[in-house]
Structure 1
Amino acid sequence: MNEAVSIKGTRHGLLILVDQERDFEEIKQNLYKKMEAARGFFKGARFAFYHEPVENEQRRALEEICLQYGLIHQPEIKTKIQNTAVSLSSNHNQPANQLSPAPQNCAANCDTLLVKRSLRSGQQIEYPGHVVVLGDVHAGAQVVAYGNVLVMGCLRGVVHAGANGNANARVVAHRLAPAQLRIGTSIACSPAYEQNQANYPEIAYLSEDGQIIVESYNSSRPAGRPT
């Protein structure tokens, strides 16, 4: 089922998708809850609505919620995004949380989204390219990318690299301890991650048989540790 409101991060800014089939009060409350959960995280970000309400009064009410949390309304973002590979379809019947198709060679040719802060529980990033987080990804947070994911701090949340099926994607973190790790169509949920005390960067990638392998990054150690 589609969410009443879904927020997508793109290189142009934030795109806020609104399910027009939902009751407006439900849409408004859902947007408010998302802004409150990400309080301070979106401050200063540019945003535009996709499939916003037709009535001016309703549009203004949604804009006001975003402005209260420090966002900057720039409607022209939608026009720019419509010409790029973004995480939506022109057919709004596609689930809002489903990433649209992209080239399989994304690991080499995708754009990169730079997140200049840590991600707290409840916060989510979805991007049709690479994602770099200059901080931690706390438990309860989620990062989904077509390409690689690089976390400069501790990764404890959920991460999915190569979300478009790209088996060449990588996940790198200073401390790799995710609740769930996915690359392409492979998935690993290992309690061993919680015991990972490695004080050096690690990289996760897929072996030829589709197994997720984790090993130290920039190390001469010959073998990785399977998840």
Structure 2
Amino acid sequence: MNPNPIKGGVFSALVIRIAEQPQAQLAENLARQVELSPGFYKDAPVVLDLDGASGVLDLPAVDLLRRTVQDQGLRPVGVQGGTKLQREAALEAGLPALTGKPAEANGPPPAKTLIQSQPVRSGSQIYARGGDLLVLAPVSAGAEIIADGNIHVYGPLRGRALAGASGDPACRIFCRSLEAELLAIAGRYLVSEAIEKRWLKQSVSVELVGEHLHIQQI
């Protein structure tokens, strides 16, 4: 029996960028994002990124910020970035400062790929936690596919596809036939009505360029 009850572990969490936005606007943006995929965001652990947050966040301000996030069904677990005073206020409110794990000398371990060989039916959700998602069959309207890494669909993509779910903006979405209801990378999204008709039913890749999703044919 191992006498040490504590062991290390690596877990995924969403990152919310506070930046320079009023509390009301933050609440509105979060509500709109959660509405797009409520099953994915329900009780999801989140880290609040304080880089760009204006002023010195005191205890009441941090408490209000935490309640704003919790009201959307999310669970704040800590903060990152920001000033020393902001991090101290967050710690006083019960949100410790978190830092990313440094890469090992030989580089990080390769990400795992989840392979889905069966069609993803309407109402289903597939989540590749910590890696890429490879779908070898159609994704129906009303279905949802999510990956912390890239998403590859070797068939029609008619549902929702959310890549970079843990906040990695470098992730991409690839599909053989674009007919999606929604595309999202690292929290930036594009709904079907905003997708240009020239891309419909085409083999495309989707990437995040700045704050917007960019589609190109492959």
Given the two structures, how large is their TM-score scaled by the length of structure 2?
0.50
TM-score computed with the length of structure 1 as normaliser? 0.48
